[in-house]
Each structure stands twice: as C-alpha cells, then as structure tokens.
Structure 1
C-alpha cells in the first residue's frame, strides 16, 4: 500500500514538473518568436520597400552614349540599390508574359520604348525622394517619362509606421503576460507543497533553508523550459531563413545570440523571482490559512 502511494506521489510530482516546464517553454518560445519579429521588422519592411521600381522611359532618339552615362550616374547615386536596362526586345517579352499572348502579331512593329528600371534603397523610398529624383531627371531631353507607383509608396510607408508601433506595444504586453503566466505556474507548483513548507518551518528550519531547494528546483525547470524554447526558436529561424533567403535573417548573428541569451536568462530570472515570492508567501501564512 505504501509503495503504491509512493508511486502515485512520484507520478504526480513528475506530472507537475512536466506541466511547469511546458508552460515555461511555450511562453518563452512565443516571446522569443516575437523578439525575432521585432529584430527583423525593419529588415522585412526594407525588403518590400526595395521592390518599388522607378521606370525611366527613353526616347527612340536617345543615343547609346547618353543611355550609358545615365545608367552609370544612376548606379552611383546614393539612393540607388540596383539598375536594369530594358531593351525594346526585352520589353516585348515582359509584356507577352504579362498578357499571355503575342501582341506583335497584330501590330507588326514594336511600339515599346527602351527603359531603365531603378531599384531604390529602402531609406529613400519616400514620396519626397521620388519626386526629387523625377524633377532631377525630367530636364533630360532624351527621357520620355518617369513612372512609379506613388499610391503604393504612400500606403507602404503608412503601414510600416503602424505595424512598427503595434509590434512594440504587443512586445511589451506579451512580456507582461509571459511573466504572469510563468509566475502562475510556479505558484501552483509551490502551492501543492505548502504543507511540507509549513511542516519544515514548524520543526525549526529557517526560511532560507526551506526556500533554497524550491528555488533550485524551479530554476532547473526554468533552464529546461528555456532550452526547449530556444530549440523551437532555432527551428523556426532555420525554416524562415531557408524559405525566405532574401530576408537574410542570419545576417546579424550578434543580435540573434543576444536574443537567445536574453530568453535563456529571462527563463531563469522569472522562475527564481516567482519561486522566491511564492515560498515567502506560504512561509508567512499561519497554519489555519493553508486550507484556503
């Protein structure tokens, strides 16, 4: 009978520890994923900004020397990330791919113009910068027209500001929730041993002596939970980097290492503080208050 009861108690204890570890791991994993989002929010936004294209259409009378000089000057400009010259033949292939049919069969001649596609650096993708580039190039006689999606640029910049603001708010809110959830799990684990705490105290054990094994065990669970969370974060990071290599998520290893270390230390710190507070509470309770 005694052996059966001991096995039951052991299973109950293991189940309690397992639930605490899972709770800590899940909360830290979600917090770490949010941290990855915060670290890479600007990079993701910059990636989409740099897809905006400024297309410069050239007159048929434009000389090759003029086009080459223009392309070189654009490539050397501070705002330029990349340039691409599109010939009349390449323009035909692009339009064919877009509309899905060969329009040249009906027209007989190529009405499309040569052009230069300019991809800007993310910090320069603003309406003010694009208007300035347009004004600067408009006085060149061999340039027919300059186009870009003005509405898209304005919408993108507005959305980036809104998303950045809400990501910061959510980060602060989720950090608070993470602390409360882990604290709740630790308090429940300590609550189940409140009678043991009071018994040790009644036989003369000091508060520090009673508190030490609880804190040590909770920190151990915090370390295990943090390691599980970090493994999950590493898998997510590897998957995202493999799926979206253009985002270059591993380009700043120092920041990533700091995030991983921060999540690990956070798991230890929260469990230590939560256990200290929880044990202190039950140590200060009177015996008749343990039943409530």
Structure 2
C-alpha cells in the first residue's frame, strides 16, 4: 500500500502535470495560430498576386498560327505563370453572354480583338515589373496594346505589405506573451517544490541532479501540450479545407507541417528554458529566503 502511494505521488501524470499541460496547450495553440496566420498570409498574398492578369491585345492582321507562336514564346518567359489565348470569336461570345446582347448584330462587325490573357508569378505582380514587361511585349509591332489595372495592383501590394507588417508585429508580441505565460505556469509549479529542492541541496545533491527530474517533467508536459495543440490545429485546418476546397491554395500541407513542427519546437524549448531558469532561481536561494517569496 505504501509503495503504491509512493508511486502515485511520484507519477509524472499528477494533477500539477495535467494542469500545467492544459495551460501550456492553450498558449501553444495561440503560438500555433500566429505561425499559421503568418504562413497563410504569405500564401494568400501569392495567390492573390498570381490571379492578377493583364491583357495583350493582338492586331487583326496577325494570323492565329503566329499568335499561338507568340503565346508559346511568352510562356517561356520567367514572369509568365499561365496564359490563355482568346480569339475574336471567343471574346465576342463571352461579351454577348455578359451583356445579354450581341454587339455584332447592330454594329455589323465584331468589335473585339484577339488577346492573350497573362497571369504572372507573384514576384512580378507589381507595377514596375509589369511596366518593363509591357515595354518588352510592345516591341512586337502586331501588339495593339497591353492593358492592366495599375491602381488595383498597387492597392493589392500596399495592402499585403501593411497586413504583413501587422502580422509580424503581432507575432513578436504574442511570442513574448506566450513565453511569459508558460514561464509563470512553470514557476508556480516549481515554487510548490522549493522546500524539496532545498532539502535535496542539504543532502549534497548536485544542481544538475536536482534539475534533471524537473526539466524532464516539464519537457514532457510541453511535448504533450504540443501534441494536443497540433491535433486541434490540424483538425481545424482539415475541416476548413473540406468545407472549402479553394483553401487548399492557402492552407497547404507544407504550411501545416511547419506549424506543427513549430508548435512542437516551442513546446520543448520554452518549457525547458522556463524550467531551467526557475530551478536556478530556487537553487541559489538561502533557506531563509524561501519563506518570503
């Protein structure tokens, strides 16, 4: 009976361990969300930029075979992510469906020109790069014009830049807050054992020997908390992409892998550091000081 009680009191899964793990889980969940939003914000910015397109209007004198050759040549350029050739007939059909009337019926001719719609890689989706691309494309005399919405592109890039700065600042602040919360949780847990720590010092135990069990216990608490937090984050992400398939463009497996690895790393590193510094604090204390903290 005595052995059982001793085993239970020394078990790693005591109430203090569970309470500490729950508190750490909530904080790691917060940190995981920060990492998640930072990474998905980057993916979202790439997705938005790569869906901004511009139109290359082709002269009516250019034959379709030559237009397709031009498209193939453009596809080989590093800035092109995707291109689509829209013939005069296709443009007329699309506009007729959009307007509900056929312009050719009352004009007597097809007013639209053939074009190549180009979507850029995200690194080139800015006004400066597009201006250079426009200049290069217009060297071809069969190009009537290059159309793009400069104001929209500038607005998108400005908003993405501002959101990124806000998320970065938020990530830094929440990281410090999370560290403080976990540190406080662990310090309270070790505080309750301060007299036991002092007793071990009195019998000649080294600091490393005394720290060992506390460090291991808190690291295991961090690992358990990280696993629970990762499970919640993965479950939420899975539900989100199941509900809306388009989110797979933003919430990629790579993002979730980085998030889960980050949460696990935070769980191990932060709990170890907090336990280490808290233990050193009580190891340095004199016996009299233990009663006044």
Q: TM-score range by the shorter chain?
A: 0.7 to 0.9
Q: CA 1:122–1:273 in 2, change beyond 3 Å: closer, same or farther?
A: closer
SS at match of 2:111: coil
Match of 2:4 in 1: none
Q: How does 1:1-292 map to 2 (within 5 A)?
A: 15-96=15-96, 98-99=98-99, 101-104=100-103, 107=106, 109=108, 110-198=110-198, 204=203, 206=205, 208=207, 209-239=209-239, 242=242, 243=245, 244-247=247-250, 249-250=252-253, 252=254, 257=257, 260-283=260-283, 284-287=285-288, 289-290=290-291, 292=293
Contact 2:40 2:251 in 1 (8 A): no
| More displaced 10-residue stretch of structure 1: 178-187 or 210-219 | 210-219
Deviation of the 1:119 alpha carbon:
1.2
Mapped contact 1:43–1:247 kept (Cα < 8 A): yes
**CA contact under 8 A between 1:194 and 1:290: conserved in structure 2?**
no
Residues 137 and 212 from structure 1, CA distance in 2 versus in 1: closer, same or farther, beyond 3 angstroms? closer
In structure 1, C-alpha distance between the alignment counterparts of 2:113 and 2:225, rounded to whole Å: 61
The separation in 1 between residues aligned to 2:172 and 2:260, in whole angstroms, is: 18
Structure 1 61/248 Cα, relative in aligned 2: closer, same or farther at 3 Å? farther
- Normalising by structure 2, report the TM-score: 0.78
- Alpha carbons of 1:279 and 1:65: their partners in 2 closer, same or farther (altered >3 Å)? closer
Structure 2 CA distance for partners of 1:195 and 1:52, relative to 1, 3 Å:
same
Structure 1: which 5+ runs fail to align?
1-8
State how far apart, in whole Å, the 2-side matches of 1:221 and 1:260 are: 16
Q: Alpha-carbon deviation of 1:98?
A: 4.2
The range that moved more, 126-135 or 281-290, is: 281-290
With the length of structure 1 as denominator, give the TM-score of the two structures: 0.78
Cα offset, 1:183, TM superposition? 0.4
Deviation at 1:84, TM superposition (A): 0.7
How far apart are 1:143 and its partner, in Å? 2.9
Shift of 1:198: 4.8
- Residue in 2 that maps onto 1:3: none
Q: Structure 1's 56 and 177: CA in aligned 2 closer, same or farther, altered over 3 A?
A: same
Separation of aligned partners in 1, 2:217 and 2:64: 76
1:218 is displaced (CA, Å) by 1.9
- Whole-angstrom CA distance in 2 between matches of 1:85 and 1:191: 71
Kept in 2: contact 1:241–1:249 (CA 8 A): no
Q: Is the deviation greater in 64-73 or in 279-288?
A: 279-288
Structure 2: gaps of 5 or more residues: 1-8
Is the CA contact (8 Å cut-off) linking 1:23 and 1:182 kept in structure 2?
yes
> What is the deviation of 1:176?
2.0
Cα deviation, residue 256, structure 1: 6.1
